[in-house]
Amino acid sequence: MRRAGRALVAALVLAVWSGLAWRAAEYGPTFEKLKGVTAEKYPGADAVVVSDETRVDVEDSGLSHVNRTQLIKVLTEKGAAECATLRFDYDPASSYAEVKSLTVFRRDGRPEEVPAGRVHDLPQPQYMIYWGPRMKVASVPKLHPGDAVEIKTYSKGFVIAYLRDQVSQDDERYIPPMRGHYYDVVLFQGDRPIVRKSYTIVLPKDKPIRARVYNGELGHEAGFDEKTLSYTWWKENVPAAEREPRMVEDTDAFPKLVLATVMDWPEKSRWFYHVNEDVDTFAYDEAILAKTQEIIRGLKTDDEKRLALLAWVARQIRYSGISMGKGEGYTLHPGKMDFNDRAGVCKDIAGMLVTMFRAAGFKNTFPAMTMAGARVEDIPADQFNHCVVATEIAPNQYKLYDPTWCPFSREVWSSAERPQNYVIGSPRGEVLMETPPADASENFIRVVSTGSINEKGDLDTTLSISGGAYSETNLVWLVVNSPAAEVRSNLEKFVAAISPAARLVDYSYTDPIDVTKPFRMSLRVEAPGYAMVTGKEMILTPPLARNILQSPRLTDFLLAVKGKERKYDIFLRATREFLFEERLALPKGYGLKSAPEVKAVESPSADFSASLAVENGALVLRERLAVKKKIVPAAEYPGLRDAVEAVNGLSKALVVVGK
């Protein structure tokens, strides 16, 4: 028995030793990678992406099989908390996702394989768009600084279409809507340092691919065999991104690979046309025709008719994503469905407008794909997040309409989308186009202050506020997007910038619903003791110099100015021009004793100028700030910085008036 027991123990020891040896051989290369990743080498990093490897195998049909392995090392407690759960999004109607394995590598050299039961399949949080997407959430055992986690995933299919009602379980459901084609956009930088990231794609030999690298350089190699073509791109030792306020989108800032098997944009354009036309998306019935005729009745010009239809669609089709089943995500909802449901996302709101334009006789009206907030590169990959409407007003000349933007706007196309790339879905096929930039003067805000200051230093003035294009729309939103009880408090925020003692006595505004007329506001303001009185002199800052219109939408450029230099370009909501003119009647006999010298700024990105004087017994301020570019290149940041600093300097300037 003793001999048998010793033999059994020996066998067990041998088995354990063999298993450990096998595991050491399997995981040895991984531990070697992890050794060189230390807090000393990556100061300030909470975690480091040691490797990120993706391989995509594409079939003739366009069906893609994606295998990805990510290895992340934790350096701090914060990094451990960030890696406590790992999330992967997918849509079960058009894609399949699987976590193949999850392994924790402890800092003492022990690998710990995580059971499959710690991976959960859950609904994604949803807001306003309810299409049934899901997510794989991996719960990682408690990590400590020095530990690492490796996750291997597999997915197939695509995420731009939503076919929730499709019940077939074979791979047909995962083939992309543009059958036989594949595209991708891959970033090679993020919020964590990356030791090495690679992306490999393998395609059938008769399926060439167009690819281009933007915002930097990547290593690249290509190969082939009897049946396939293979391409690999990689980048090593990538630092964590240094985020800056109001910077452009990541896709416009970080090293990026864009690839597609589609030949050119006209091919993509024709596909987008047929995928909607072949199912009669824009067919209209008697009810739609009758409503269209009712809306345009009595209007004479084509522009008037289209504006009226735009206003109706923008207000009546609320933004709420309801799945129509097969084709969701790339096919627009049928006009009849939109008219009945009175709901949809941007593509469906656009589809309703296309339907009504055609019912009104504008037959050459088509949907168009755009990318709000970022540029579209000249590789025909899907780089879109928004849908609008294009109608042909002359041969090969289109006019754009955006009903999602325009519920209460006199603009038919937002100046916040200038410049912006777009592709129209037409039968002849269109190239990638771009809307022209908006001049700052189009998006003006004009504030005229007319009032007085008495010998006690009390201020009494009326502000008249008007705007153009994007700026006017934001003034309107201040009213229509707020409950009636909150409008006054919103306006009081402007008044509070003048002085803590300032109060809004009264206010009025024109009809914000009537998009045929300019929108104007009037604010009556009083501020007792606004000016400091010293004998026969008063010291004050002109009220309009106080930056009274500060808000995230109206003055987002103020948030962009931080520091002396910028690494990334600046993304602003729109160009802007602020025109302030103030005339404050002074007590009889008062003149200008002293005023600060105002230095003008003139640059490619922004201009500033101001003047102070006493004219006919009134203190007169004239101030102009022009933000001349929506996308301000990093190299032109100093001009914007100098203009903003001049504005802020004037807001603190003291003027002395007296007898």
pLDDT of 289 higher than 80:
yes
Position 94 confidence tier, pLDDT thresholds 50, 70, 90: confident
pLDDT of 200 higher than 70:
yes
pLDDT by residue (tens digit) across 603-629? 999 999 999 999 999 999 999 999 999
Among 119-128, 374-383, 433-442, whose mean pLDDT is lowest?
119-128
Position 551 confidence tier, pLDDT thresholds 50, 70, 90: confident
Mean pLDDT of 131-153: 94
Spatial separation of the C-alpha atoms in residues 530 and 449, rounded to whole Å: 15
Size of the chain, expressed as the number of residues it contains: 659
The predicted structure's pLDDT at residue 322 = 73
Mean pLDDT of 422-432: 97
Among 13-27, 125-139, 211-225, 422-436, whose mean pLDDT is lowest?
13-27
Instruction: Output the six-digit token pair for 550.
Output: 């500060």
Indicate if the alpha-carbon torsion angle 608, 611, 612, 617 is positive or negative. Answer: negative
The predicted structure's pLDDT at residue 24 = 54
The domain defined by 34-261 folds into Immunoglobulin-like (2.60.40)
Task: Give the pTM.
Answer: 0.89
Position 29 confidence tier, pLDDT thresholds 50, 70, 90: confident
More confident residue, 464 or 18: 464
Residue carrying the six token digits 């109608």: 391
The predicted structure's pLDDT at residue 549 = 86
Spatial separation of the C-alpha atoms in residues 448 and 274, rounded to whole Å: 53
Among 93-97, 518-522, 531-535, whose mean pLDDT is lowest?
93-97
For CATH 2.60.120.1130, the residue range(s) in the chain are 440-658
Phi, psi of 82 (to 5 degrees): -65, -30
Spatial separation of the C-alpha atoms in residues 37 and 72, rounded to whole Å: 10
The predicted structure's pLDDT at residue 584 = 97
Q: What proportion of the chain, given as a percentage, has pLDDT over 70?
A: 93
The predicted structure's pLDDT at residue 326 = 59
Mean pLDDT of 151-161: 81
CA 37 to centroid of chain Cα atoms: 34
Spatial separation of the C-alpha atoms in residues 399 and 639, rounded to whole Å: 34
Spatial separation of the C-alpha atoms in residues 15 and 18, rounded to whole Å: 5
Instruction: Output the six-digit token pair for 31.
Output: 């531990």
Of 645, 631, 550, 615, the residue nearest 375 (C-alpha)? 631
Contact 186, 257 (CB under 8 A): yes
**Mean pLDDT of all residues belonging to the chain:** 91
Strand locations in 331-454 (E): 343-344, 365-370, 386-394, 397-401, 421-424, 433-434, 444-453
For CATH 3.10.620.30, the residue range(s) in the chain are 267-434
Of 239, 314, 619, 345, the residue nearest 480 (C-alpha)? 314
pLDDT of 404 higher than 50:
yes
* DSSP per-residue codes, 534-591: ETTEEEE--GGGG-TT--TTTSTHHHH--SS--SS-EE-S--EEEEEEEEEEPPTT-E
Instruction: Output the six-digit token pair for 74.
Output: 């934790």
Position 580 confidence tier, pLDDT thresholds 50, 70, 90: very high
pLDDT of 287 higher than 90:
yes
Mean pLDDT of 99-128: 93
The predicted structure's pLDDT at residue 23 = 52
Position 11 confidence tier, pLDDT thresholds 50, 70, 90: very low
Spatial separation of the C-alpha atoms in residues 418 and 412, rounded to whole Å: 12
DSSP-derived pairing of the beta strands 397-401 and 386-394: antiparallel
The predicted structure's pLDDT at residue 547 = 86
Spatial separation of the C-alpha atoms in residues 210 and 260, rounded to whole Å: 5
The predicted structure's pLDDT at residue 483 = 87
Q: What proportion of the chain, given as a percentage, has pLDDT over 90?
A: 82
pLDDT of 180 higher than 80:
yes
pLDDT of 424 higher than 60:
yes
Of 343, 376, 385, 350, the residue nearest 365 (C-alpha)? 350
The CATH class that applies to domain 440-658 reads mainly beta
pLDDT of 430 higher than 60:
yes
Mean pLDDT of 61-87: 96
Contact 574, 443 (CB under 8 A): yes
The predicted structure's pLDDT at residue 325 = 58
Spatial separation of the C-alpha atoms in residues 151 and 116, rounded to whole Å: 12
* Beta bridge partners of residue 269, listed in sequence order: none
Position 401 confidence tier, pLDDT thresholds 50, 70, 90: very high
The domain defined by 267-434 folds into C8orf32 fold (3.10.620)
* DSSP per-residue codes, 36-69: T--TTTSTT-SEEEEEEEEEEEE-TTS-EEEEEE
Indicate if the alpha-carbon torsion angle 426, 428, 431, 436 is positive or negative. Answer: negative
pLDDT by residue (tens digit) across 311-353? 999 999 999 887 665 555 567 889 999 999 999 999 999 999 9
Q: Omega into 239 within 30° of 0, i.e. cis?
A: no
Residue carrying the six token digits 């009037």: 522
Spatial separation of the C-alpha atoms in residues 214 and 426, rounded to whole Å: 29
Of 133, 113, 112, 111, the residue nearest 122 (C-alpha)? 133
Mean pLDDT of 232-239: 98
Of 432, 425, 431, 433, the residue nearest 270 (C-alpha)? 425
pLDDT by residue (tens digit) across 566-578? 999 999 999 999 9
